[in-house]
Amino acid sequence: MGIFGGQFANVVEWNEFKDDVIFHKWSNNEIKKGSKLILRAGQDAIFMYNGKIEGIFKDEGEYNIETDIIPFLSTLKGFKFGFNSGLRAEVLFVNTKEFTEKWGTKNPVVLAAPQLNLPGGLPIRAFGNYSFKVDDYITLIDKLAGVRTEYRVEDVKLRVSAVVDQLLMKWIATEGKDIFNLQAYSLQISAGIKSDLDMELCKLGFNVTDFNIASVSYPEEVTRMQNKAAAQAMVGDMNKYTNISMADGMSKGGSSLAGDMVGASMGMALGSQMVNSMNNANQGANAGLTNPTLNGQIPKFCPNCGTPTTGTKFCGNCGTKLI
């Protein structure tokens, strides 16, 4: 090896840039005299020496390291290249884009639903997407870049999927005032999850910029009962709904009696709840109106909840005055 051995200038760049890579550490051990830095759009370059940040460069372009970079470093600003010695510094390239990924519950989230008499509760699934980006370079280097040469979006997705089910359950319990209409409260639930998820990922140097719930899905049986309950609420007569359900069951020769009874029970429970919700929503509009009666006679069905009356002056189910 001659006097110029090891003095071949090198190019410091991220030449295999990929959208799913969050950061990449330049692998050469030494920066030679005459070397240059190439910085492309969507990249930041962090020069590190002995594990500490010496300088961060954000503007895309081509730079001579000796004249354009070293004078702006912290402790290395006076470094001089020798004939046979280079600068032993690390360069970390960071992808500055905002990453948007999909999320979904790994397992059904079970919610308490005493009105359905379901053992174990009501299982639901939810799906949506979230966005994040690198926010804190010091934390990123301290927690990840110090031991990793590369970090991918998939690594973040694994961390999100590990906590999203618990966060969903927590914020549904806090903000989900109607478990049969969670989509109506998706903004409040999403905001809570975003805040908690941001606190989790900021420990690694990331910032969660968005989180939303695209859909909430219920078991097929519950969805079917919801549809029937909605039809019953429109009819407004529990007996008619029961007759319709019985006719449905008789038309399906393969249906078991037990299955029909469970289905009817769930449907009536949902129907009653939806009727109550509708009546509560309209209570202000109906203020001042008296309960409907038939020429002073007790009605056959409670005008508030639809429950058949038993001849008493008050509904045995909801307590509404009947006459």
Same-domain status, 178 and 112 = yes
What pLDDT is attached to residue 288?
41
Low-confidence stretches of the chain (pLDDT beneath 50): 1-6, 254, 257-258, 284-292
Q: Are 42 and 96 in contact (CB under 8 A)?
A: yes
Range of the domain at 204: 99-218
Does any domain span residue 75?
yes
Distance between CA atoms of residues 114 and 76, nearest Å: 68
* Domain CATH number, residue 194: 3.30.479.30
Q: Letter for the amino acid at 207?
A: N
Contacts of 229 (CB under 8 A, 6+ apart): 267, 270, 271, 273, 274
Same-domain status, 81 and 110 = no
Does any domain span residue 105?
yes
What pLDDT is attached to residue 129?
97
Q: Nearest CA to 72 among 85, 88, 53?
A: 53
pTM strictly above 0.75: no
What pLDDT is attached to residue 131?
98
What pLDDT is attached to residue 82?
66
Q: Are 269 and 238 in contact (CB under 8 A)?
A: no
Query: DSSP assignment, residue 39?
Result: E
Instruction: Give the DSSP H/E element, type plus range, for residue 22.
Output: strand 21-25
Instruction: Give the DSSP H/E element, type plus range, for residue 215.
Output: strand 206-217
What pLDDT is attached to residue 318?
80
Contacts of 126 (CB under 8 A, 6+ apart): 104, 105, 109, 168, 182, 213, 215, 216, 217
Does any domain span residue 309?
yes
Same-domain status, 161 and 109 = yes
What pLDDT is attached to residue 273?
61
Q: Are 280 and 264 in contact (CB under 8 A)?
A: no
Same-domain status, 67 and 168 = no
N residues, the chain? 323
Distance between CA atoms of residues 119 and 101, nearest Å: 34
Report the chain's terminal Cα–Cα distance, integer Å: 109
